[in-house]
Amino acid sequence: MRIIAGKHRGRVLAEFRGMEIRPTSDRVKESLFQIIGDRLAGARVLDLFCGSGALGLESLSRGAKEAVFNDVSRESLAVLKKNLAALREEGQVMQSDYAACLMRMRGKFDIIFCDPPYKMDCREDVLARIAAHDRLAAGGVVIWESEREEEAPAGWRRSDLRSYGRTKIAFFERSTP
């Protein structure tokens, strides 16, 4: 796993192995960041299920102003902290479930990455909490990685869907009232 582009291009990231671990592949990550490239300059980014932090770190490398990293796993956050130190980057790090993170967090985000474990069925709840706590900036996007073609719940619209083998990336934006 590595940083694809930007100021840290080519840097290898620490990662961990396990049966439940499913990092976003470099191919998917490269395609994803080509799609959102224009949105990154000066963006505030939330990596809600961050794992090793690859998506938030890629965002910082490509010009995001701020990244907030959250994961429930202490082991994931230890790997993330190694990666932040190796890249000499800073980011707010939180250890909590997504619901607590969205409730306690302050401010709005331009991009929210959601890459929960595939077996975790939480899309509707996460999007409802993002809306209820007003965490998405005007014109912002929630990027959801899954193995299913996720549909938009009420109050949201799916603006794009990309398929990379087993991996599906859905882009959700708030519906206009």
CATH of residue 148's domain is 3.40.50.150
Helix (H, G, I), strand (E, B) or coil at 35: helix
Closest CA to 115 of 79, 151, 144: 144
In a domain, 10, yes or no: no
In a domain, 6, yes or no: no
In a domain, 149, yes or no: yes
**How many domains does the chain divide into?**
1
Per-residue pLDDT of the chain (177 residues; tens, 9 = 90+): 888 888 898 888 888 665 455 667 778 889 999 999 889 999 999 999 999 999 999 999 999 999 999 999 999 999 999 999 999 999 999 999 999 999 999 999 999 999 998 788 899 999 999 999 999 999 999 999 999 888 899 999 999 999 998 899 999 999 875
In a domain, 1, yes or no: no
Which residue in the block uniquely carries the two structure tokens 């690859």?
54
Query: Residue 141 is part of which domain span?
Result: 26-174
CB proximity list for 147: less than 8 A, separation 6 or greater: 118, 166, 167, 168
**Cα–Cα distance for residue pair 20/159, rounded to 1 Å:** 29
**Spatial contact of 104 and 74, defined as CB atoms under 8 Å apart:** no
In a domain, 133, yes or no: yes
In a domain, 161, yes or no: yes
Q: Which two tokens stand for residue 173?
A: 């934006």
* pTM across the whole model: 0.94
**Spatial contact of 45 and 15, defined as CB atoms under 8 Å apart:** no
Structure confidence at residue 118 (pLDDT): 79
In a domain, 72, yes or no: yes
